[in-house]
Chains A and B, each alone.
Chain A
């Protein structure tokens, strides 16, 4: 089975801090994604990547950046955390180059920015 591992289950940070969320997948998937989940809004795509060193903006990239230096690892960076970035962050991966492929999700990181 595919395993997508997110480094932290819960994270508490202060406003203005730089925050790194790490995600690793073990099935050699080409595609990796970062979503945030907020009540009443579902899952919204922040960034995605089709290959190493490639990245594409999703619906809500403002205030975030990403890094994909290795195929298995996709990092989400909050350059200067703000309270409106308090949310559940979900990493996902999928095989192939077709976006319609089903996604495999990690367990999520609940980030609180105080």
Chain B
């Protein structure tokens, strides 16, 4: 059973526009959420995280929003740049259990 779901396998946006990547989870016990970015031929790298006691965390062009009642989080990238083209994984964690989504491939067109 996949406790973390990214229902959009791919997303294409124009450079300068906003990219919104979505993630849903089923386990209400998750208390920490992370986003990782993965370029081809490289391992995933940490991007941004949020604790369940917050509903928003911002780091430069990247903002993560958490809606606990809906068990939903999203990653906003504003403005999107061609270098942001990558696969984005969301992850949810509680204690010794970190689960990953299937990933969303973002393509930012010049």
Q: Are B43 and A4 in contact, CB atoms less than 8 angstroms apart?
A: yes
CA distance A112 to B19 in the complex (A): 34
Known A40-B102, A104-B46, A106-B43: A99·B89 in contact at CB below 8 Å: no
Known A103-B46, A105-B43: A42·B2 in contact at CB below 8 Å: yes
Known A102-B34, A104-B46, A107-B43: A43·B93 in contact at CB below 8 Å: no
Residue A12 lies at the interface, judged by CB distance under 8 Å to chain B: no
Q: Are A43 and B43 in contact, CB atoms less than 8 angstroms apart?
A: no
Known A41-B102, A42-B2, A42-B103: A99·B96 in contact at CB below 8 Å: yes
| Minimal beta-carbon separation of B28 from chain A (angstroms) | 16
| Minimal beta-carbon separation of A6 from chain B (angstroms) | 8
A43, A90, A100 interface centre (most CB from chain B within 10 Å): A100
A40: chain B residues at CB < 8 Å are 9, 102
Q: Are A102 and B49 in contact, CB atoms less than 8 angstroms apart?
A: yes
Residue A78 lies at the interface, judged by CB distance under 8 Å to chain B: no
CA distance A103 to B44 in the complex (A): 9
B32: chain A residues at CB < 8 Å are 100
State the interface size on chain A (CB cutoff 8 A): 22
CA distance A68 to B20 in the complex (A): 40
State the interface size on chain B (CB cutoff 8 A): 27
A39: chain B residues at CB < 8 Å are 102
Residue A113 lies at the interface, judged by CB distance under 8 Å to chain B: no
Within A20-72, which residues are at the interface with B (CB < 8 Å)?
Answer: 35, 39-45, 56
Residue B95 lies at the interface, judged by CB distance under 8 Å to chain A: yes
Which one of A43, A100, A106 lies within 8 Å of B89 (CB-CB)?
Answer: A43
Q: Are B42 and A107 in contact, CB atoms less than 8 angstroms apart?
A: yes
Q: Are B43 and A90 in contact, CB atoms less than 8 angstroms apart?
A: yes
CB-CB contacts of A84-114 with B at 8 A, as 1s and 0s?
0000001010000001101111111000000
Q: Are A107 and B89 in contact, CB atoms less than 8 angstroms apart?
A: no
A contact set with B: CB distance below 8 Å: 4, 9, 35, 39-45, 56, 90, 92, 99-100, 102-108
